[in-house]
Amino acid sequence: MKQIVELTINGDPQSLAVEGHRSLLDTLREEAGLTGTKKGCDVGDCGACTVIVDGQPVNACLMLAVEAQGRNVETVEGMQQSIDILHPLQDAFMRHGASQCGFCTPGILMMARKLIEENPDPSDDEIRFGLSGNICRCTGYTKIFDAVRSAAAEIRAVRA
């Protein structure tokens, strides 16, 4: 039996009919049509499904959609600053070749955005630690870390 969940996704109020056992991940992808958030393991191990809920990173595969009632959910689709302006992290990932198959990329972008918001000048160790819950099966970690470091510097320069 479905129930109505009212939540905000990337700033848009949404009302979705979901079954009680449905994960937020499946609901975002299949009910809201937001397929940017990826399903890797579906058990909380890989971080591919990372979204931001009320300002905190969450593995969307581990959260029921009904738990998102009344909450503010941000996905990778909401990162772009406008139709033709990428978020500095997205731009840096492109410039540094930090995305190979790209499956891990949305989750890493969301986690990296949160990391930089909380720590605008992260050390290499802090970037590694901050992204330690996000697995890249293509193992392109060096370029990912380079991109995060570059985006953080760019954001600091804009704000200076």
Residues that bind ligand FES (CB under 6 A): 39-42, 44-49, 59, 61, 99-105, 136-138, 140
In angstroms, what is the minimal distance from the CB of 49 to ligand FES?
A: 3
Looking at beta carbons only, is 59 or 75 nearer to ligand FES? Answer: 59
Q: CA neighbours within 13 Å on the CB side: how many for 158? A: 9
Task: Report the candidate in 64, 140, 60 with the shortest Cα–Cα distance to residue 102.
Answer: 140
Closest CA to 28 of 73, 69, 58: 73
Q: Minimum distance between the CB of residue 51 and ligand FES, rounded to whole angstroms? A: 10
Task: Between 47 and 130, name the residue whose CB sits nearer to ligand FES.
Answer: 47
Residue type, 11: G
When the beta carbons of 39 and 71 are compared against ligand FES, the nearer one is: 39
Token look-up 């998102």 returns 68
Which of helix, strand or coil describes residue 53? strand
Q: Give me the least distance between CB of 29 and ligand FES, in Å please.
A: 11
Q: Which amino acid is at 49?
A: C
Closest to ligand FES by CB, 6 or 151:
151
Q: DSSP secondary-structure letter at 108?
A: H
Query: Shortest approach of ligand FES to residue 23 CB, angstroms?
Result: 8
| Cβ 8 to ligand FES shortest distance, Å | 21
Nearer to ligand FES, 8 or 100 (CB): 100
User: Which candidate, 147, 38, 148, 34, places its Cα nearest to that of 97?
Assistant: 147
